[in-house]
Amino acid sequence: MEALGNLLFGFTIALTPYNLMVAASGVFLGIIIGVLPGLGGTSGVAILLPMTMVMPATSGIILLASIYWGALFGGAITSILFNIPGEPWSVATCFDGYPMAKQGRAGEALASAFVPGFFASLFGILLFTFFAPPLAELALKFGPPEYLAVLLLAFSTFAGLGGGPLEKTLVSMFAGFLLGTVGLDIVTGEPRLTFGTIDLLAGFSFVTVCIGLFGLGEIMVSAEESLQFRGVQATIRLREVWRVVRSLAEHLRTFVMGTLLGFWVGVMPGTGATPASFMSYGLAKQSSRHPHKFGTGVPEGVMATETAAHAAGIGALLPLVTLGIPGSPTAAVMLAGLFVWGLQPGPRLFVEQPDFVWGLIASMYIGNMIALLMCLLLVPFFTAILRIPYAILGPLIVLFSAIGAYAVKNMMLDIWLLLIFGVVGYVFKKLAYPVAPLVVALVLGDMTEEALRQSLIMSDGSFTIFLTRPIAAALIGVALFIFLLPMLRPLLPQAVGGSRAAPLSGR
């Protein structure tokens, strides 16, 4: 109950008119930053960091955190409307969000992103409020073998996602792994597949590849088909929001799973929300009654991804405040903020700077609420964008995509890569190769390789390290089970289908 008192104290700080104004402007800026492709929350927070030096520390962190919340909400908008993931963790939002938008259900798709996202944030903030120190303690127990286990879990849930024939999924996935190996190898410090060039030492950035494959590829296909968004609904009715809220109860398992996964993976330093969003989507699909419909525009797909992403956004701040380790790249910039304001993160921060910590926590509730309201009010405006003739909209998207790709590393090469991956995306689409496995492999392949090799260095090359550490062994067991589940299911149709006591099989 001590936390409750502290939280109330925090609200007295976060609810001052100045801090409220700071939070509202942060959220608004964040939404805009999230909407622009390529320019994610990380850049937004980084751009405004020097400005916060003239503010009190608490207002500074409220501003930066609010930008983060705004960007989390805004990132979904581009994924749904244009098939361009604004952030790595909204890639999976495209899978169902964009088909929904094409069917004229953009409003519904946006609501399915915002409302569950908000509730996931709320759930995450509650966990943060009451359990931050023990959760930080638990996060420390996760070393390289446990990271590998979590990543394997992500791959296993995502294995069946390609949808198409297995060989095409494999081709796509291995192309992703191959792209992921380009650059400086973190374990040996040697360049790989750079062909002696300096620009390739930086490797392929996820943002460029993704915007190219999804965004540009889609634009080319759309241009060819002279796409028209059918019957775009101009407003979002309160009834629609309410329907999404009620459907949360229906998809309670997806929601809870997504939130918990997202929150925990967010808390694990260094991974961020991306694996969580894929895992959540994959799990939602596997446990769904109609998995084949995923990817054609089901709201649960959007919901699963967004709950995980939002919960992870909250989770990422936990190790930042309690351990001084950022849980995500955006949190890393905020860590810089702590130093700039002269604060020392760690357990003592709660004791020495209660107004900062509790002001931040209280502002999370407020910031997310503002973000939800703002987004819902802006939905008509966003959907109205889709009524612009595609002949005008298409080139504009290309322009913003190019700016976004350039902004990642400030390199001209990325614009060329964007164009190349646009063509690759188009060809993939024409030949019915799934794009998602490539992206997943590119994002997670690097992390997975790192975790595997770190673990093997720790154990002098012995794989028993994955069996002797209980958390890692348990998670790998679960990953194997999920991976084999689709193959096992046809083998025992009676056993699974006939048993009422097997709710997880979910036929």
Partner 1 sequence: MRSRGPLLLWVILTAVVLALAGASVLAERPAEAAWQPSKPVEFVIQTSPGGGSDVYARFWIGIIDKYKLSPVPVVPVNMPGGAGAVALAHLHSKKGDPHFISPTLNSVITTPLLQKIPVMYLSEDLTPIVKMMMDPFLLVVNPEQFKSVEQFLAACRQQSLTAAGTGSKQEDEIQIFAMQNAFKCQPFRYVPHKGGGDVAKAVAGKHADFNVNQPSEMLPHYPQRLIPILSFQKERPKEFPEATTHWEKGINSQWAALLDLETGLHQMRGVIGAPDMPKDAVTWYEDMFRKVWETPEWQEFMKKGAMQPVFMRSEEYRKFLVRFENNHVKVMRDVIGWKLRDDLRPR
Alpha carbon 216 to chain centroid, angstroms: 21
Q: Which of 1, 2, 17, 196 binds partner 1 (CB under 8 A)?
A: 196
Contacts of 278 (CB under 8 A, 6+ apart): 91, 92, 154, 157, 158, 440, 444
Site string for partner 1, 148-177 (x = CB under 8 A): ------------------------------
188 contributes a contact to partner 1 by CB under 8 A: yes
8-state DSSP, 1: -
487 contributes a contact to partner 1 by CB under 8 A: no
Minimum distance between the CB of residue 391 and partner 1, rounded to whole angstroms?
A: 34
Measured between alpha carbons, how far is 214 from 207 in angstroms, rounded to an integer?
10
432 contributes a contact to partner 1 by CB under 8 A: no
Measured between alpha carbons, how far is 464 from 462 in angstroms, rounded to an integer?
5
Which residue, 193 or 488, has its beta carbon nearer to partner 1? 193
Query: What are residue 191's DSSP bridge partners?
Result: 184
113 with 121: CB under 8 angstroms?
no
Q: Is 106 exposed, middle or buried (0-12, 13-18, 19+ CB in 10 A)?
A: buried
354 contributes a contact to partner 1 by CB under 8 A: no
269 contributes a contact to partner 1 by CB under 8 A: yes
350 contributes a contact to partner 1 by CB under 8 A: no
264 contributes a contact to partner 1 by CB under 8 A: no
267 contributes a contact to partner 1 by CB under 8 A: no
476 with 210: CB under 8 angstroms?
no
| Of residues 410, 366, 427, 313, the one with CA closest to residue 17 | 366
Q: Which of 187, 431, 432, 487 binds partner 1 (CB under 8 A)?
A: 187
116 with 303: CB under 8 angstroms?
yes
329 contributes a contact to partner 1 by CB under 8 A: yes
Contacts of 475 (CB under 8 A, 6+ apart): 146, 149, 150, 152, 153
Q: Which stretch binds partner 1 (CB under 8 A): 74-82, 299-307, 333-341, 364-372?
A: 333-341
Q: Which of 332, 375, 386, 436 binds partner 1 (CB under 8 A)?
A: 332
Task: List C-alpha distances in Å: 243 to 96, 116, 208, 248.
Answer: 18, 12, 36, 9
Which residue, 113 or 210, has its beta carbon nearer to partner 1? 210
Measured between alpha carbons, how far is 97 from 112 in angstroms, rounded to an integer?
9
To the nearest 5 percent, what fractions of the chain are helix, strand and coil?
Answer: 80, 0, 20
Which residue, 183 or 258, has its beta carbon nearer to partner 1? 183
Query: What are residue 184's DSSP bridge partners?
Result: 191
Q: Which stretch binds partner 1 (CB under 8 A): 5-13, 303-311, 325-333, 398-406?
A: 325-333
Residue listed under structure tokens 């350039």: 406
Q: What is the DSSP string of 154-206?
A: HHHHHGGGG-S-HHHHHHHHHHHHHHHH-EE-TTT--EES-TT-SGGGG---H
Q: Which of 20, 227, 232, 336 binds partner 1 (CB under 8 A)?
A: 336
494 contributes a contact to partner 1 by CB under 8 A: no
452 contributes a contact to partner 1 by CB under 8 A: no
Q: Which of 42, 66, 353, 368 binds partner 1 (CB under 8 A)?
A: 42
144 contributes a contact to partner 1 by CB under 8 A: yes
Which residue, 183 or 262, has its beta carbon nearer to partner 1? 183
26 contributes a contact to partner 1 by CB under 8 A: no
367 contributes a contact to partner 1 by CB under 8 A: no
For the chain, the residue count is 507
Q: Which stretch binds partner 1 (CB under 8 A): 14-22, 111-119, 199-207, 307-315?
A: 199-207
Q: Segment 53-92, which members bind partner 1 (CB under 8 A)?
A: 53-54
195 contributes a contact to partner 1 by CB under 8 A: no
Contacts of 100 (CB under 8 A, 6+ apart): 80, 106, 108, 109, 112, 297, 299, 302
470 contributes a contact to partner 1 by CB under 8 A: no
Q: Which of 17, 342, 498, 503 binds partner 1 (CB under 8 A)?
A: 342
Q: Which of 460, 490, 491, 494 binds partner 1 (CB under 8 A)?
A: 460
Minimum distance between the CB of residue 55 and partner 1, rounded to whole angstroms?
A: 11
How many residues bind to partner 1 according to rule CB under 8 A?
A: 57
By CB under 8 A, name the binding residues for partner 1.
Answer: 42-43, 45-46, 49-54, 140-144, 183-189, 191, 196, 198-199, 201-203, 269-270, 323-326, 329-333, 335-336, 339-340, 342, 344-347, 409-411, 450, 454, 457-458, 460
